[in-house]
């Protein structure tokens, strides 16, 4: 049996078209954000700690979309939440939690991130854990500096003198 070139071309085009249509059968598109970083930030000068989550946009999101992050509260109690607008032209998303206390070394803390469309529909959900390699008691109990000029905190530096030992942050029992 001899296959004519015209029939072979038509068969190849039909096969390519079927493969292209099969690729369009997904009910949802790829996830719009990818987790690229997660850590605790300890600000020694100002005596606070926060979660820091970084994401990279892998797909466009509709105008008016938001990202809602829910952070486990290391001190216990209600989770901490953060709601941010996603901007179409920015490829990076940085989420910094409100200040946290009682962070313990090597303990995993849960974080959930939801990407919501302009209508409030959830487009993506990311779940992860953040683990610190330090306890929060490395931080001073009070900010070392105050004000916009980072002046020495008079509550810490009595009469302008450096204390022999800095009091460190404590977690209420």
161 neighbors 128 (Cβ within 8 angstroms): no
- pLDDT, tens digit, for every residue of 36-77? 999 999 999 999 999 999 999 999 999 999 999 999 999 999
- Looking only at the bridges linking them, the beta strands covering 92-96 and 33-43 are unpaired
Closest CA to 169 of 122, 78, 108, 104: 104
Q: What is the pLDDT of residues 107-155, one digit of tens each?
A: 999 999 999 999 999 999 999 999 999 999 999 999 999 999 999 999 9
């Amino acid at each position: 049996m001899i296959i004519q070139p015209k029939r072979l071309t038509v068969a190849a085009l039909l096969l390519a078209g079927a493969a292209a249509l099969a690729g369009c059968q997904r009910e949802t598109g790829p996830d719009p954000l990818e987790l690229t970083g997660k850590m605790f930030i300890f600000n020694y000068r100002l005596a606070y700690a926060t979660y820091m989550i970084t994401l990279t946009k892998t797909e466009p999101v509709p105008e008016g979309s938001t990202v809602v992050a829910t952070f486990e509260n290391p001190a216990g109690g209600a989770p901490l939440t953060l709601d941010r607008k996603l901007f179409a032209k920015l490829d990076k998303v940085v989420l910094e939690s409100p200040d946290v206390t009682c962070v313990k070394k090597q303990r995993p803390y849960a974080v959930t991130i939801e990407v919501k469309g302009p209508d409030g529909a959830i487009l993506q959900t990311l779940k992860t854990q953040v683990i610190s390699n330090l306890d929060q008691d490395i931080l001073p109990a009070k900010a070392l500096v105050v004000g916009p000029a980072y002046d020495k905190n008079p509550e810490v530096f009595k009469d302008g003198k450096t204390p022999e030992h800095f009091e460190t942050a404590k977690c209420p029992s």
